[in-house]
């Protein structure tokens, strides 16, 4: 069965916002990829962009990080890596709190037009960083600062605060079939 193409334009937005809060959550692939697309788009328009990664470690040289650094995007990799590889979860929690401290400064100082908080939902879900602190910092941000957040199981308070929430659903993933992460596709 084929659908008919639209013949009327959708209603146009009537107002502009100084900034937005965008949340990419869910159990599917593509949350970080979507956030990096926003970061690249903003940098392409000459906006100042910062990325703070909460879970990935500095040992990972992801393609998006390499490309972003070439574009002048400020990039902070503060995470310790996968929790299942950690020998000290208390240390991992302290590192996540340090990442939040840096992210909160990046948001509040207003030096960036877009601040990406990659995988920020995990330390919230695990109680390492208080969700209320994150919500307050985002709500109190300078008017021109957009914030993009990623990670599974986003708390309801973040969903409520966000202007746009996208839920990524996992229907099928190569990893589930035993295929390792692929350079250029997965990292």
**The pLDDT of residue 8:** 87
Which residues constitute the domain of residue 130?
21-169
CA-CA distance, 125 to 53, in Å (whole number)? 16
Number of independent structural domains in the chain: 1
**The pLDDT of residue 181:** 83
**The pLDDT of residue 79:** 65
Q: Is 14 domain-assigned?
A: no
Question: Residue 186 contacts by C-beta under 8 Å, 6 or more apart in sequence?
Answer: 29
**The pLDDT of residue 34:** 97
Pairing mode, if any, of strands 114-118 and 21-26?
Answer: unpaired
Q: Is 34 domain-assigned?
A: yes
Q: Is 4 domain-assigned?
A: no
Q: Is 176 domain-assigned?
A: no
Query: 141: which DSSP letter?
Result: S
Which pTM does this prediction carry? 0.89
Q: Is 181 domain-assigned?
A: no
Residue numbers in the chain where pLDDT is lower than 50? none
Scored b (16 or more CB within 10 A) or e, 38-47 reads: bbbebbeeee
């Amino acid at each position: 069965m084929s659908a008919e193409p639209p013949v009327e334009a959708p209603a146009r937005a009537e107002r502009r916002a100084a900034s937005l809060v965008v949340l990419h959550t869910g159990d599917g692939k593509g949350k970080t990829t979507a956030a990096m697309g926003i970061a690249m788009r903003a940098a392409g328009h000459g906006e100042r962009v910062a990325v703070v990664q909460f879970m990935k470690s500095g040992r990972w040289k992801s393609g998006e990080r390499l490309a972003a650094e070439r574009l002048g995007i400020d990039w902070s990799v503060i995470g310790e890596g996968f929790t299942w590889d950690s020998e000290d979860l208390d240390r991992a929690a302290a590192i996540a709190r340090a990442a939040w401290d840096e992210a909160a400064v990046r948001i509040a100082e207003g030096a960036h037009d877009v601040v990406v908080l990659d995988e920020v939902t995990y330390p919230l879900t695990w109680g390492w960083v208080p969700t209320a602190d994150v919500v307050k910092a985002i709500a109190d941000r300078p008017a021109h600062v957009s914030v993009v957040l990623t990670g599974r199981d986003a708390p309801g308070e973040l969903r409520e605060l966000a202007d746009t929430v996208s839920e990524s659903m996992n229907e099928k993933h190569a990893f589930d079939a035993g295929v390792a992460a692929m350079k250029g596709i997965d990292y």
